[in-house]
Every structure is written in C-alpha cells, then in structure tokens.
Structure 1
Amino acid sequence: MASLSQLASQWNIPPELLDELSKYATPTGLADYAALAVIAGVSGAYISRGYLWDQPDPYAYLAYERPQLKNGGQAGANANKETRNIAQKLEESGKNIVVFWGSQSGTAEGFAHRLAREISVRWGQESMTADLSDYDPITITEIPNTKLAIFIVSTYGEGDPSDNTVDFWSWINKAKDVSLPSLRYAAFGLGNTNYKFYNKVVDVIVEGLDKFGAQALMPVGKANDAEGATEEDFMSWKDQLFSVFKEQLGFQEIEAKYTPSLLIQEDESLEPIDLHHGEPHGQADGKANQSSAVRTLSISNSRELFTSSDRHCLHMDLDLTNQPELTYKTGDHLAIWPGNPDSEVELLLQVLGTSERRDIPLHIKAIDSATKVTIPSPTSTNALFRYYLEICAPVNRDNVRDLAQFAPTPEAKAYLTQLGQDKDNYASFINRTHLNLGRLLQLACPGQTWSDIPLSYLTETLPHIRPRYYSISSSSVVSPRKPSITAIATTTPLPDNSSELVHGVTSNYLLAISQQAQSQPHPYGVTYHLNGPSNALEGGKVFAHIRRSKFKLPITGKTPLVMVGAGTGLAPFRAFLSERCQVQKIGKDVGQMILFFGCRNPNEDFIYQQELEEMQKVLGDKLRVVTAFSRKEGTPRKYVQDRVSEFGDDVVKLIDEGGSFYVCGRAGMAREVEKAVGETMRKVKGWSEDEVNNWSKAVKRKNKWQEDVWG
C-alpha cells in the first residue's frame, strides 16, 4: 500500500499540509480503529462492486435490445436504410405489382415468390414480393390505382395470423378513418377445414380492405390443406387471376422464358473460412420476441419409446448449459433445423453434373433491388443442397412445366410438358411416386445430366429448409436446463412399391443421431452428415431454437385440468403432469386432472406408460388416466373423442369448477374432441346449438380451452 508521502507526491499535496493532516490521520484509540475498519469495509465493498458482488447480467441487454434488428424484419430494414413505406418502395424500384405474404411454415411465402416471378415472365409486369412485417401497414393507403396489391396469407391454430402478419392484422382490426379508394387488390388464403376457423385471416383482411373502400379485382381464393389440395387450389386461383389480367386489365401475355432475379457466380479466390457452410442464418421463423436465436445444443440423452420393430419414436433430452441466454417455459416448442439425407444430395449433384464443383465458393447477389437474398453468401452448392434448400419435397406442377425448358433431350421436354399440363395425371403421378427434384430429373431422362438448369433457378424456386417444431415434453420447473422432445420417425410406403419408403427428413435425421450415439446404423439405411457444417455438430449436437407458446398451465396449481392427447400429442402433458407432481411434493394443493390418451396398441406404442403410472402414485386420486386404443386385439376401436364422450359428466364437472381444457395432436382429432364436448354440454345442460357455440367462444377467449395441433 502506498505511504502518505507517496500519495502526497502523486496528488501534489504541499509538505506542510501533509504534516498537519498526519496529526489527525494516526489513530489514537478504539473508536478511531473502529471508524477506520468501517471506512475500509465500505471502500472495499465499493471497489469490488461488479467483480465480487452485484455482477451485471451478461444477457441483460436482451431485455432492451430491439429484436427486429436481428431478423431482417421491421427495424432490420431500417438498419439497412430500407424504407418501410411500400408505396415509396414500389416507386423507387419501378414495380407495378406487389405480392404481400404472411407465412408461418413457408408455404405462403413460396407461393408469393412463384406468383411474382410468373407475373414478370408471363405478363411482362414488374413485380416484387413483400414480407408484411417489413412495411408499415398504413403505407398501403399511398399505393396509387396504377399499381396492384396481392395478399397471400396463411391461417394457423385457432384462426391465428402468422408471426409476420401480426402487425398488419392488428392494424386492419383497429384502424379507423382509413380510406383506400385507390387500392386495387386480390387475395388468397391458406387454411385447413380441420380447424374451426378455416381461413379466418384472409377473411378478416379482405373484410377490412373492403370496409376501407379498396377495390377487389376478383373473389378471394382459398386453399384447403385438409384434402391435400393446397397446391392445386393455388394454381386454380392463379389461373383465375391471370384471366383478370387479360380480360379486365388488358395485360398482354408474352412467351415465358426464365429470367433470373439472382446472380450466382463462382469465386475460387475465396477460402473455406470465408463461406457459409450450412449454419442456420439470421433469426428463426417468426419474430424475435417469440423465437430465440438459433444455437448449437447437445443431446444429452436419447431413447426409443416404441417396442415395435418397424416404428420408431424418440425421447431426446437437450442441454442448454452452454447456452445460458436460452430459457424455456413449460408448454413451449423446440425447433430442430435438419440437413438433407446424403443420398438425395448426391443424386441431385450427380444429375445436375455438379458433383466435381460442389465445394467451389459461390457469391449470391440480387439482380433486382427489390429482391431480398435469403440464402447466406458466399456459400457452396453442397451447402445449398444439404442445408439451405428443401430438395426432398415433391416437385410442384408449375416447376415440372418450367423444367421442360432446360431438358437435355426433346423426349424429356415432352415428358415434363405433358406431366405439368395435365392436372389429374400429375396428381396421380405424384401420389404414386412422391418424386423430388433429383429423382424426377433422373426419371425424365435416365443417364443424362441436366447441366442447363441454372443454379439461380433452383435457388429461386425450391423451398428453403424450415425448422420442424416439437412440443417440449419436460417441465421448466423440474428440468430448467434440459428440455426434452418426443419425435416419431415417419416413413410412408409408396402405393406402387411398398418396399420403397418416403422418409420424413427431420424425424429420420434425429433417428440417425440417436442410432449413432448407440453405434447403430439407421434402421432404413438413411445417412446424414451428422457432424454438420464445419463439424459444428460433432458429438451429437443439433441446431435448434425455442419458440414461445400460448399452450400454458394455469397460474394456480389448484385449477382442474382436462387433457386430451393422441400419439406424440402426449408430450406437453408429460410436462404438465411432471410440474403438478413437483407442486404437490412441496406441499401445495393441486386440482383434479383427467388425461385422455390414445394410441394404437398398449403393447407397442403406449409412450411414457411407466412414467404415467409413477405420476399416478404421486398424485393419487388427483389424476385419472383414461386410455383409448384403436388397434388392440380383441377389443373394438376406441379413439380419444369416444372416451371423452363416455366420461362426459366428469369432464363437464371439472369445466364447471373452473377447469382448463387442453388438446394436443392432429387437427382432425381436436375437431372431433370439440364436437364430443359440445354434444356432452348440450345433453347435460340442455343447451341449444347457439348456446354451445357461445360457450365455446367464451372459454377460448379466456384461454380456458387451448389447442396445440397440427395437420
């Protein structure tokens, strides 16, 4: 420690003043020593602040950070000096038509890009696509009547808008004194009649536009995914739109030739370290306040839940230890970003004649200022086909027809042209074969390479790989740093060849990881590059992110619960019950619960059966488990909706006591469960159809009825 003379020299204190101070600086009694001790303690505490105590949270900035800066959405556009005024953007870029999209899974976005591209090449109209979250909704009022706006939006869940449609949805529902007399528009919605609010989002948007005085060019179009008709519904509506172009607007159709919107060039001067090798880029699907960033997570444990030899269901525990900024809550979803199978990547590279140049660095640039480059650049062909593009999806009829122009032989051109023009023939063909791009090209022209297909065409037309979402099957109270997921590996035999299986990309990717951990091959011989880009996933890791969900337990543990799940729909209820067990273990009361669970056979696919039995022991008479087996030998088929009807009085009793109702599984099942509950309410309470409907709307509005459904 420095002496007084040293301090005096350092601070320029005169010697005579130092002598005077020293008379008072020397302690002479117990009180002086006590005072000095207090002063030393306070000084030490102050100096050590931020080091030994009151350390700042390294992730506190996330609470104040503008998430849009990360995701290419709202503020992200501002950060890149992009205008948020769509009318201004149309004027600056010289575009006549804007195709807005609101998409949750990527289908509506893909349709928007296809439509804008076809409008340009077939009708010579300058067009662009626009993410609804990239522009301020009010600016559509400035679009002049010399231009057109087209809306392609999806509906999911209980009539919910996609994440990127939320701001526009809110504006069109709440805006007042808005006038759109100069806006000419057309609209197409994507929905599913298995859901109660079929295509609600497009209906609400159209109603709002009409209320504000906008001019509809044609009736709203709607796709119904319940019948697998989304693709053909879109193409039928597109043909009607083009008839309007020709007959009402006087547009002249021109010979359609591919015109790239992207410039993809090789650059061998780049080093591997400069490239994007396949890591997920940017923000996860949806807004940053609903989805975390994509991170590398370790799989700490994996086990199979089925005893069947030909069906596989996985339980996987993931580890958040090395990603402290990631947290989850019970009921949230975990998204897995997959890679494509080795065989499909190799086949496509081979049929395109690019195997030898797969690792050559590529620059991807937008030719048009209105085009947003969504693939990270620079990259490589190998990364494109393995991690960035959905090469395993069936080829849509538009693309089949377009591919004909690149055919290496007249016979191949004729084959694809005929297949793409005949709706019924194409539907039959794709259902029998499920051919993806590589297999289609190989079939159309065996032994030939399709070297004339521009890489830019494939990058523009193939869907981008999207994450697959899984309900988290663990409780954040019980297992805060190790969320688990439950995934069934899907394999579908082809009608014409039952030995040929179509493998679900992500579920079989997870199965391959699980088998590798046990030094076992994939049961169907499917292989993936499991070490990931630049070996980032070596040692059993995945790229993943967490998405917030509204599927939540009530705040109070005393609230009764009715839970209905089939198959892997049991996953979130495993988490719910685990949390309720923990609440009871610490001495707090929990409400009455009924779990309805359905599967095929109790001896094959009754997942988590032992765990449920253990939970019943803990919860005692607070939990009743009611099972439904659809393929149990010697017994009639039972589904969860049947069992809900059988126990209708108990269900109504818990609902009347303020209970919350939950359904997880396929949308068709959820619809049947709702019918069963409605019929029970009608019988027990003597209600009319209108009273049942009003009750249903009320409990959903209060979040007393929640669904986590798909398909």
Structure 2
Amino acid sequence: MHNADISAVADLDFPLDGFQLSRLAQAVEGLSREQLHWASGYLAGLGGGTTTASAATAAQDGLTILYASVSGNARSIATRLADDARQRGLSPTLADISGYRPRELRNERLLYIVISTQGEGEPPESANELFRYLRGAKPRQLDQLEYAVFGLGDSSYEYFNQAARDLDALLEGLGATAVAERIEADVDFSARYGAWSQQVLDIADAKAPADEARVVPSARESLHLIRYDRDHPYPAEVLDRRRITTDDAVSDVQHIVLGIDPAKIRYAPGDAVGVLAENDPELVDRILSLARLDADTEISVDGSRHNLRNALLHHFELTQLHPLVVAEWAQRSATPDLLALLDDKAALRDFAGRRQLIDLLSDYPIAITPADFAGLLQPLQPRLYSIASSQAEYPDELHLTVATVEYEAFGRRHLGTATGLLNRRIEVGQVLSIYIAPNPGFHLPADDGKPVIMIGAGTGIAPFRGFLQQRAARAGSGRNWLVFGNRHFHRDFLYQAEWIAYRDNGHLHRASLAFSRDSEERTYVQHRLLDAGAEVVRWLDEGAHLYVCGSIAMEKAVRGALLDVLETHAGLDLTGAGQRFEDLLAQGRYQKDVY
C-alpha cells in the first residue's frame, strides 16, 4: 500500500478511518523505542490487552534506524531502508533523531543512521542533542554497539558531509564498531543507496535472533500509510497566488495558497514543504538550440527512456550549476580560464555559484552527444520553502511566501527554477507536486504559556505567520515578540495588515522592525536586538524560546548580537555569555531555520 491512498485502508477492514490513521502516524512519528514500547503497553491496557516482555527484549536485539534531516532526503532514505528491512521480515525501529533519547545508545546493538549536513558542516538541528551527548560521553561507553552511517551532502560546498564524518568519528571514539564503510553521498544520493542498503541489510539479517518470527508483509497485509515524499509527491491544487510586495519593490514576493486534504497531509508550524518543480520550457528550448541537440533523441534516465527535451524538463538541474559540471566542461572545452579553476576549489565554487548552464553553453560552447550531455548534469532537486500557515486556522490549506529569484548577469536574464514556476508560470487551478519536510528542530514549545521571540528577515517571516496563527487558535497565554527586517516599510512589510491585527487583538505583544533602506544608516534585525537588549534578557529569564529564520549570514549576526546582549544586560563575561547561549541550545530554546 505504499503508493495507495490512505482511504484504501478501509478495504482492509481496519477499525480506524484514514484521518485517524493519519493522526496516529503523526503521533508516534519520532518516538524512541522505549517510548513506543511504553505506548504499546499503555494502549493495550486501555483495550484490556497485555504485552509481553519478550517483545521488548527482542526489540533490544533488533535494528534501529535513525535519521537527521534538513530537506527531507535523510528521512526518505531512512524510511526506504526500513521498508526494505520489513520486506526481509525484519522489524526495524525507525525514528527521527529529535525524538530519540541519546542514553538509549547504551542499549542498542545494531544502529543505522542517515544524516545530512547543513550550514558550515553542522548537523541538522534535530541532531544537536545527540552530538552533545556523544561529545560528553565516557570512553568505551558504546563497546556493544555496531553501526553504519549514510551521509547526505553536496560536494559543491566546502564542508561536504562533515556531519556524517563527525558522527562516525564520535561513535568510533566511544568504542562502537562500524559494520560498513561510511557513505558520503552527493546530490545524486539514490545511486549510492542500492549497494549500501544491500550490504547493511544482509548484516542485519545475519544478526537477527534465530528464534525471531519472520513475517514478510504482503501488499494487503502491510499497514503502510502512504508517505508523501520526493518519490511519491502529493498533488496540491493552487488556490491563490498574489504579489504581496508593491510593484516598485526590488523583490517580487508572492503569497501562494495550496489546497490539501488534512486526512493525507499534516504539518506543524515551522515545517517546510518540498516543491518538485519542472524546468522552464523556454529555457530548455534555448539550451537545446545552443547545444545543437535534437529534442526528440531518446536517452536513458534512471533506467527509463525519455526524449531529451522531456528529460531536461523534469530530471536535470539547469539553473544551479554544480562545480563538478564546470570541472568536466573545462576538460572537454580545454579552455584555459576554465582549466585554471581546477586548481582552485574556492574559485571553482564561486564560478559555478554565479552562473547557470545557459552561461556555460553560451560562453564556452562544446560539441557533445545527447547522452554525454545528460551524463554531465546533476539530478533536479526539490526546493524547500518554510510553510507560512497553521492547520489550526487553515486545516485544508498550505501557504507559501516565495521571493522570485531573477537577475541579469553575463548579458542574459536568469530565473530560478522553482520561483519561476511558482511566481510566474503556474496558474490558479493547476496542480503542484509537493511533500512535507518535517522540521522538529523549529517547532513551537509544547507549553503555549511560554513566551517566544521570532526573528526573521525577508521571506524568513513565513514560519512566524504560522506560529502566530497557531498561538492565536490555541488562545495560549504566552507572549509573542516579532523582530522583522526588510528593505522598505512601504514596499516590503510582508503581511503588514495581519501583524497589525494580531497586535490589536492582543496576540502580538511586541514588534521590533528594521527597514534597512529607509535611512542612510543601515539598520538590521540584529541592531533591534541590541536596542532592546534588557527586554530580551527579561524574556529569556522568563523562559522565552528564540527563533531565527533567514540567511546563514543573518543568523550569525543575530547570534553575535545575542551574545553581546547577554554580556551587557545579564551581567556575564564573554565565557558566561557563551555558556548561557549553549544552555539555550541544549534546552531547545534557541532554534534556527537558515538557508
């Protein structure tokens, strides 16, 4: 039933309907093994049933699969691995690292971890607690553990797969034994999955208890709620699309409303949505013309046959130029200035980061066959956007806040893949392929009485719109403080009327605004934090959770300002301020969503 609709569960005569099953799946996702066992016993007790100790004992000797995801790719790989394990008759425990208690590692025997890397070699926010535990654990504490690590990264970045490398080193340093070589997958990670999964599942098979009952599920016996992911996207209808910056604003920002079925799609404020966008047909035709390639030539893509035009539309990156493509292009063109880049990785990354494929074709033409051309290109990746709504207010909708990526360079107009589709080409009534990318490291506190400080720049305001909708719907007592920055008050104050309404009805208790181009002295969100430093410390002392959404550079500036605030207004020295910040991280009270 992996590809079936949830409503098809009714055909199996289960006592829960599709919505109840969806809610149940959402409730248990991310629970640790110990929590799942406790919950099963609790539910059995409610139903008058019993649980046996042997089930719990057997699970201790079984396979645990953890994932730490940023874009949803690690979750997708881990879920696929768990599915493949079940097809072998194994009973793996699958969990998001954010819901896993690190001390349970001492009870694990076989552990497979799928982890991505973000920022400057950092693990996903959801893995911070695990990394802190591992760095503080005693030597040889995990002698009993055997493990394997599957890393996800992008080799165009300097700190490629650094989180996977660090995790592997930490586990090995604590006495754990790797049963397979660490995988450092690039953007085309599916190509690395097959051989690795075969190897690690063979190992899990061999280590499974001999007396364990093996039941390989049939299609009708498997209670597999559909998981909408990049391989099985959800078709969401576009209900509305409108510009929310003025016509004379530098940035074209659009508010997009998608229709969803709440029985099939559930999300929390702070989660992201993955958009599977196709390339611009006009761009594809220009590329085919420049490369002098026949659009109807058939090529193979992942074992399937496609004509070249269709393959370029749906399967390959055309607007994000990978350094590997430039490196191969340099070899084929033998152009001196391109060849010079091969000895300077930083220059190669910079060259690729400022250009698109159309620029290579125009400025460095080469003769190439259709198959070789396709072989050069990287697979088309989903684009992630922060969700700008809450299902507490819009149960059957999902909102996006999207800034158009458009610029002139090298004598040509450039348009982003997804933003071009979302903000220019797609029309109301058409369907968009999406999936939810959970972001548990950027969720509201469970206690609605806790104050929150939300710091966002530009479209980084999107998740905080969902936060306020959720907090207002729950009528919690916690205070809300928005710190928002953009270029101009009159052109770029996104959702201005809504924030004013929240202020007037008592849900937005404080707003600090920074519009950088409205005065000669550039003012940004970090400056507003410094201005209100004493109040920031008071809110933190009262248990406030602080959220930051925006660029990596912006988050660094906010972090620096916060450390200054703690020194100046909390009476701490530099070391003490740093420790206070680390405490906020450990308590989950400083959370970021950066890009």
Identify the residue that residue 142 of structure 2 maps to in structure 1.
Answer: 176
For 1:228-377, list aligned pairs within 5 A.
Answer: 293-309=232-248, 310-321=250-261, 324-358=263-297, 360=298, 375=302, 377=304
- The residue identity in structure 1 corresponding to 2:383 is R
Does 2:401 correspond to 1:486? yes
Report the alpha carbon displacement of residue 349 of structure 1 after superposing the two structures with TM: 2.8
| Structure 1 pair 158–327 and aligned structure 2 pair: CA distance change class (3 A) | farther
Q: What per-residue deviation string (whole Å, max 9, x for no partner) do you get for residues 328-349 of structure 1?
A: 1222111111111123311333
Distance in structure 2 (CA, Å) of the matches to 1:605 and 1:164 = 35
Tell me what 2:216 maps to: none
Change in CA separation of 1:208 and 1:472 when aligned onto 2, cut-off 3 Å: same
Larger Rg: 1
Instruction: Show CA shifts across 1:477-522 (max 9, x none).
Output: 111111101010012332x54xx332221112111136x45xxxxx
- What amino acid is aligned across from residue 384 of structure 2 in structure 1? Y
Deviation per CA, 1:254-277, whole angstroms, max 9, x where unpaired?
xxxxxxx9xxxxxxxxxxxxxxxx
Q: Secondary structure at the match of 1:501?
A: strand
Q: Give the Cα–Cα distance (whole angstroms) in 2 for the partners of residues 166 and 649 of structure 1.
A: 29
Is 1:632 the equivalent of 2:518?
yes
Give structure 2 stretches of 5+ with no counterpart: 1-9, 30-64, 66-74, 92-108, 188-193, 195-225
Q: What are the equivalent positions in structure 2 for 1:15-54 lying under 5 Å apart?
A: none
Question: What is the TM-score of this pair, normalised by structure 2?
Answer: 0.66
Deviation sequence 1:268-320 (CA, Å, 0-9, x none): xxxxxxxxxxxxxxxxxxx9699895111011111111114353101111100
| Partner deviation per Cα, 1:85-104 (whole Å, 9 max, x = no partner) | xxxxxxxxxxxxxxxxxxxx
Residue 672 of structure 1 aligns with which residue? 557
Query: Structure 1 residue 662: deviation in Å?
Result: 1.2
Alignment of 1:139-538 (within 5 A): 154-156=117-119, 159-161=122-124, 176-177=142-143, 199=162, 201-209=164-172, 212=175, 293-309=232-248, 310-321=250-261, 324-358=263-297, 360=298, 375=302, 377-396=304-323, 398-403=324-329, 412-413=333-334, 418=339, 421=342, 423=344, 427=348, 430=351, 434-436=355-357, 438-445=358-365, 449-451=367-369, 454-455=371-372, 458-459=374-375, 461-494=376-409, 497=411, 500-513=412-425, 516-517=427-428
Contact kept in structure 1, 2:483 and 2:528, CA below 8 Å: yes
2:434 aligns with one of 531, 544, 552:
544
Q: Which amino acid aligns with 2:266?
A: T
Matching residue within 490, 498, 503 for 1:616:
503
Counterpart residue identity of residue 549, structure 1: N
- 2:575 counterpart of 1:684: no
What is the match of residue 462 of structure 2? 571
Q: Which amino acid aligns with 2:172?
A: L
Shift of 1:602: 0.5
Alpha-carbon shift at residue 439 of structure 1 (Å)? 4.1
Structure 2 residue matching 1:658: 3-state secondary structure: coil
The AA in structure 1 aligned to 2:82 is A
Q: Alignment RMSD, CA only?
A: 4.9
- 1:640 deviates by 0.6
Find the aligned partners of 1:165 and 1:74 in 2 and give their Cα distance.
23
Contact 1:561 1:659 in 2 (8 A): yes
> Does the 8 A contact of 1:473 with 1:571 survive in 2?
yes
Q: CA deviation at 1:166?
A: 12
The 2-side partners of 1:702 and 1:164 are apart by 13
Structure 1 residue matching 2:453: 3-state secondary structure = strand
Equivalence for 2:218: none
Query: In the alignment, what sits opposite 2:223?
Result: none
Distance 1:291 1:327 in 2: 16
Residue of structure 2 aligned with 1:698, choices 574, 579, 583:
583
Query: 5+ unaligned residues in a row in structure 1: which ranges?
Result: 1-49, 85-135, 141-150, 223-229, 232-260, 262-286, 365-374, 518-538
Q: 1-side partners of 2:511 and 2:527: how far apart?
A: 14
- CA distance in structure 2 between the partners assigned to 1:662 and 1:618 by the alignment: 23
| 1:241 matched residue in structure 2 | none
The CA distance in 1 between the partners of 2:141 and 2:156, in whole Å, is 25
- In 2, are the aligned partners of 1:303 and 1:316 still within 8 Å (CA)? yes
Instruction: Report the Cα offset of residue 557 of structure 1.
Output: 2.3
Alpha-carbon distance between aligned partners in 1 of 2:126 and 2:233, rounded to the nearest angstrom: 17
Q: TM-score, normalised by structure 1?
A: 0.56
Query: Residues 450 and 170 from structure 1, CA distance in 2 versus in 1: closer, same or farther, beyond 3 angstroms?
Result: farther
1:540: Cα distance to partner?
2.1
Specify whether residues 166 and 156 from structure 1 end up closer, same or farther in structure 2 by C-alpha distance, changes over 3 A only. farther
Q: 2:17 aligns with which of 57, 81, 87?
A: 57
The count of residues paired between Structure 1 and Structure 2 equals 470
Q: Which has the higher contact order (CA 8 A, sep 6+)?
A: 2
Is 2:451 the counterpart of 1:560?
yes
- Report if the CA contact (8 A) 1:332-1:471 is conserved: yes
**Counterpart secondary structure, 1:591:** coil
* Structure 1 partner of 2:72: none
Question: How high is the sequence identity, in percent, across the aligned residues?
Answer: 20
CA 1:380 to 1:418, structure 2 compared with 1: closer, same or farther past 3 Å?
A: same
Q: How far has the Cα of 1:153 moved from its partner?
A: 6.4
Structure 2 partner of 1:602: 489
Deviations along 1:204-237, one digit per CA (max 9) or x if unpaired, are 433443564999xxxx9x9xxxxxxx99xxxxxx
- Alignment-mate amino acid for residue 583 of structure 1: R
TM-aligned CA deviation for residue 56 of structure 1:
3.9
CA deviation digits over 1:633-652, x for unaligned, max 9?
4x522111101111111111
- What SS does the corresponding residue of 1:335 show, helix, strand or coil? strand
Alpha-carbon separation, structure 2, partners of 1:652 and 1:591: 16
Q: Distance in 1 between matches of 2:404 and 2:252?
A: 5
Change (3 A) 1:471 1:686: same
The aligned counterpart of 1:5 is: none
Output the amino acid matched with 1:355.
D
Separation of aligned partners in 2, 1:165 and 1:591 = 26
Report the CA distance shift for 1:169/1:319 in structure 2 as closer, same or farther (over 3 A). Answer: farther
Does the residue aligned with 1:556 lie in a helix, a strand or coil?
coil
Corresponding position: 1:641 with 2:531: no
For 1:168 and 1:649, the matched residues in 2 are separated by 32
SS of corresponding position for 2:491: coil
> 2: distance between equivalents of 1:425 and 1:200?
21
Provide the rounded CA distance (Å) in 2 between the counterparts of 1:188 and 1:301.
34
Task: Tell me, yes or no, if the aligned pair for 2:537 and 2:570 is still in contact at 8 Å.
Answer: no
Alignment deviations for residues 68-114 of structure 1 (CA, whole Å, 9 cap, x no partner): 99867313444787999xxxxxxxxxxxxxxxxxxxxxxxxxxxxxx
CA distance, structure 2, for counterparts of residue 339 and residue 556 of structure 1:
41
